[in-house]
Amino acid sequence: MKHFTHIELPEWKRAVIKVGSALVAPEGKFLSNTYTLDIAGFITECRNRGKEMILVTSGAVAAGISRQPALAKRQLSMPEKQAMAAIGQPLLMAHWSKYFDFPCAQLLLTYQGINERQRFVNARNTILELLAQKTLPIVNENDTVVVDEIKVGDNDNLAAHVAALAEADILFICSDVDGLFDADPRINTGAHFIPQVNKITQAIYDLAGGRGSLYAIGGMVTKIQAAEKATARGITTVVFNGSRRLSYQYLLDGIVPGTLFCQNASPITAKKHWILHALKSKGIIYIDAGARKAVRDKGASLLPSGILSIEGRFKQGDAVTLQSGNQIIARGICQYDSGDLDKIKGKKSTEIESILGYFHRDEVIHRDDLVLM
């Protein structure tokens, strides 16, 4: 591995390993043993060493297309993609299950299963129980029913969500490149390899390239997004070339075969990670300088008196963004819907009941439901 740099892998007990379509179906037309056999061997050996493994896999659409080859040469409509996913999902499950002599379980998640707190907790409980029963959870997005508005969108980010809800120690992202470079190594032969990222900044995102293969949604951008989600929760992330057999031996030897994204020194709580990374903001609350200082510097809750204006339509319990001028300050769960909030903005908490005819709570966003950006 010509880009290899000797970095030791942190100790870990529970891992999520994400495998993309480029490794499951290299030609984009059918499922192949070319790379998945080595991946399955790695999973088995990790389990033999007392580790807990969760597999997040792509490839359902490609598997479905293998039974409908006429669709392989053109862009698919949404109903066609969903139909191919429905055909391909059992094929994908059978493809992985054939490698293992221990039980496997299929979990099909949607964005709603992540952003609704009770479903999130239910998914976590299911995965933890499967691990307790020595079963391999095999996770994919439920592409047969979701549409763009409610999709996680790619399995890199899905894997990060799964790692967070499963309380994993490490996230392995199998790619078809050796890790992160300062340019696309498939185009620029002079691209420099980056063995370790201590903090994910905009400069790191600027290094990322575009989309991958025909049936792969994710590129390096989504891998960085996934790493950002995981490391914020204290989960070390490794992006490496899953097509190289030697990569798995390095991992088993405790050596990083790709790019190591270091976990945050001060991980945020599970609830705040869920607010920041699992919830989509439904609106914007613009706050004044006093509220900005109280929220950002003093760890205070947001009161109606500090609100200047609101943007968007949202309900009580939705996530919203706090903004001061052009600066995004935080994200939090709002305790009033947008219509009522518009009536009480700039007012004192003691005036809420007389204005609305009811009183829910003093805070528009409680500090326990608020995450600084």
pLDDT of 291 over the 90 cut: yes
Most confident of 106-120, 127-141, 192-206: 127-141
Identify the burial level of 180 via C-beta atoms within 10 angstroms of its C-beta, where 0-12 means exposed, 13-18 middle and 19 or more buried. Answer: buried
Dump pLDDT digits (tens) for 303-316: 999 999 999 999 99
Percent pLDDT > 90 in the chain is: 56
Mean pLDDT value across residues 144-152: 51
Query: Reduced to 3 states, what is the DSSP secondary structure of residue 70?
Result: helix
Residue 320 in contact with residue 281, Cβ under 8 Å? yes
Quote the tokens at residue 344: 């009480």
How much is the pLDDT for 276? Answer: 81
* CATH class of domain segment(s) 281-372: mainly beta
Q: Bridge-partner residues for 162, per DSSP? A: none
Rounded Cα–Cα distance for residues 125 and 136 (Å): 14
Quote the tokens at residue 124: 């976590």
Dump pLDDT digits (tens) for 23-55: 998 877 689 999 999 999 999 999 999 999 999
Place of tokens 């490496």: 240
Which residues are CB-neighbours of 108 under 8 A, at least 6 positions away?
89, 139, 140, 141, 142, 144
Place of tokens 């300050």: 329
Dump pLDDT digits (tens) for 315-367: 998 999 999 989 999 999 999 999 999 999 999 999 999 999 998 889 999 98
Rounded Cα–Cα distance for residues 95 and 99 (Å): 8
Rounded Cα–Cα distance for residues 137 and 157 (Å): 17
Residue 329 in contact with residue 291, Cβ under 8 Å? no
Rounded Cα–Cα distance for residues 243 and 72 (Å): 23
Residue 19's CB: how many other CB atoms inside 10 A?
25
Tell me how far CA of residue 311 lies from CA of 293, 317, 364, in angstroms.
21, 16, 15
pLDDT of 178 over the 80 cut: yes
Residue 249's CB: how many other CB atoms inside 10 A?
15
- Per the rule left: phi > 0, alpha: psi between -120 and 50, beta: everything else, 33 is alpha
Rounded Cα–Cα distance for residues 361 and 91 (Å): 51
Q: What is the CA radius of gyration of the chain?
A: 22
Pick the CATH number of 14-268 from 3.30.43.10, 3.10.350.10, 3.40.50.300, 3.40.1160.10: 3.40.1160.10
369 against 17, higher pLDDT? 17
The residue among 362, 302, 360, 290 whose CA lies nearest residue 330 is 302
Q: How far apart are the first and last CA of the chain?
A: 38
Residue 203's CB: how many other CB atoms inside 10 A?
8
φ, ψ dihedrals at 364, nearest 5°? -75, -45
Q: What is the mean pLDDT of the chain?
A: 87
How much is the pLDDT for 41? Answer: 97
pLDDT of 212 over the 50 cut: no
Dump pLDDT digits (tens) for 181-203: 888 777 777 888 999 999 998 88
Residue 54 in contact with residue 170, Cβ under 8 Å? no
User: Residue 176: pLDDT band by 50, 70, 90 thresholds?
Assistant: confident
